[in-house]
Amino acid sequence: MKDRVNSCNEENENVSHHSDCEDRENYRKVTLVERVPWETVVKGKGAQEGWAFFKKEVLKTQEQVVPMCGKTNQRGRRPAWLNRELLLGLRKKKRVYHFWKKGQVTQEEYRDLVKSFREEIRNAKA
């Protein structure tokens, strides 16, 4: 474990978790947008041109940072953490919501399902 951490961050001997290294990598990726000198780039451009440039840079950074699975069906691409089990859970949550609105399920049952599904989503993203 120590060798894996040191290979990522040799200057800091106090690092004890590999996740610290991953956090630093994610931070570096987030700063990709901050590296663009926005004031000088947008200066002299109109609102439409400035917005188009900003949007292009943000989307380019998003493609580099957010892991996506390839297109597998007509619905298109999805985040890598959104697996089949979570998709089925999301579908169930939507179905129970409609049952709740029709009065076939109590609000407490729906709320419990939402809380448990929210926890599953958080664990999948982590």
User: Does residue 7 belong to any structural domain of this protein?
Assistant: yes
> What is the extent of the structural domain holding 53?
37-66
User: Does residue 74 belong to any structural domain of this protein?
Assistant: no
Any residues with CB less than 8 A from the CB of 93 and at least 6 apart, and which?
Answer: 113, 114, 117
User: Does residue 61 belong to any structural domain of this protein?
Assistant: yes
Q: Give the residue from 26, 118, 124, 22 showing the smallest Cα distance to 66.
A: 26
User: Does residue 76 belong to any structural domain of this protein?
Assistant: no
User: Does residue 99 belong to any structural domain of this protein?
Assistant: yes
Best mean pLDDT range from 11-20, 41-50, 109-118:
109-118
Q: Give the residue from 28, 31, 2 showing the smallest Cα distance to 14.
A: 2
pLDDT at 54: 83
Best mean pLDDT range from 27-31, 62-66, 94-98:
94-98
Best mean pLDDT range from 57-61, 62-66, 112-116:
112-116
Q: What whole-number percentage of the chain has pLDDT above 70?
A: 66
89/116 same-domain check: yes
41/30 same-domain check: no
46/29 same-domain check: no
Domain count, the chain: 3
User: Does residue 8 belong to any structural domain of this protein?
Assistant: yes
User: Does residue 77 belong to any structural domain of this protein?
Assistant: no
Sign of CA dihedral 54, 60, 64, 69: positive
26/13 same-domain check: yes
